[in-house]
Amino acid sequence: MLFLGDGQRQNAVMRVLYRRCQLFVTATEVEACPNIAIEALTAGCSIVASDSGPAREILGDASVLTPPRNVDALGHQMVRLLGDDMARVELANKARMRSGMFSWDRTVRDTYEVLTKW
């Protein structure tokens, strides 16, 4: 983890790390909205994730999902993708396209609609 004492510099470093990674892996099962996954989408990362409800909804076909807590499946997909440049490029392109679904403006609008629907 990088702690630079300044949120702006840390964010800039994280953007570079996302863009330079060959593969982004997340195995969380407890986050209702894993913002780190949305950041990875936006950066165009190739993503492997545990198949939890939120991850499936957020990442969709822009990732390879593995059964939760199945370390062998997670490891297998990591090795497979690290050896397949074309598959990583395809996932990265899907990630960039899917990231367009997420914005603060849309979040505010959708939240407002749900809260005022009654």
Domain boundaries, the chain: 21-116
- Residue 6 has a pLDDT of 55
Which residues, given as ranges, of the chain have pLDDT below 70? 1-9
pLDDT for the residue 2? 46
Token pair for residue 107?
């979040």
Is the separation of the CB atoms in 62 and 49 below 8 Å? no
What pLDDT sits at residue 1? 45
CB neighbourhood size of 94 (10 A): 19
Amino acid letter, 80:
R
- The string over 18-34, giving b where at least 16 C-beta atoms fall within 10 Å of a residue's C-beta and e elsewhere, is beeeebbbbeeeeeeeb
21-116 has which CATH code? 3.40.50.2000
Q: What is the pLDDT of residue 7?
A: 60
